[in-house]
Amino acid sequence: MQQALPAKIQNKLRDYPFTKPPSQPRPKRGPPDAAARRKTIRSKLRLGMILLDADFEFMSDPEHARWLKDHVEDKFWLKFESLAESHKGQEWSS
């Protein structure tokens, strides 16, 4: 059997909200800068993740490709080249 709390305590508890206030909407992030995208693609290669069409499109810029080649191990660069070649073949056959 529950007993009602004394009026003094009930009045005090009214001052404290027991529900979570609504969260504020987060500001939208802009697209990642070039350095962040190159690092993300390098991580995807190292982790064996799938590269998206947007990744190949981004890496078609020679400056970005040069950076990746200079900053990734040879085996991952060879893997990227192989994936890029097969991606080009898929684009033409689609």
pLDDT of res. 74: 95
pLDDT of res. 10: 86
Q: What is the mean pLDDT of each run of 10 residues along the chain (94 residues)?
A: 79 83 86 93 95 94 94 95 87 45
Query: Which residue type does 66 have?
Result: R
pTM of the entire predicted model: 0.65
Cβ-defined contacts of 51-60 (< 8 Å, 24+): 51/80, 51/83, 51/87, 53/87, 56/83, 56/84, 56/87, 59/84
d(CA 37, CA 12): 53
Query: Which residue type does 80 have?
Result: F
